[in-house]
Structure 1
Amino acid sequence: PLSTLPATHLLNITLFSYAGTLYFGLIATDALPNLGRLARYIDEEITALETAVGL
């Protein structure tokens, strides 16, 4: 997904679902240098949630 970042924000997380899949879009300023780490954490936790509910 395409995210926008207003001048007064440090982080925007956009998500939508399509055809049974949930998509995340992350965008941040340089004030949040570990955006890749946040993306990995989200992926890990979504995987854990899917496992917990049997998906």
Structure 2
Amino acid sequence: MRTLVTLACTECKRRNYTTKKNKQNNPERIEFKKHCKWCKTHTVHKETR
């Protein structure tokens, strides 16, 4: 089952993105390199709980 997760910027700690993930296929926390409009650069965004 796919669940909704929130991605937070590792630099400014703001929660900028939401995405869906399958917890059976990806049990660990996901991280993407995405653009943060507050930092004005591409930063790593990690899954928050």
TM-score by length of 2: 0.31
Structure whose CA Rg is larger: 1
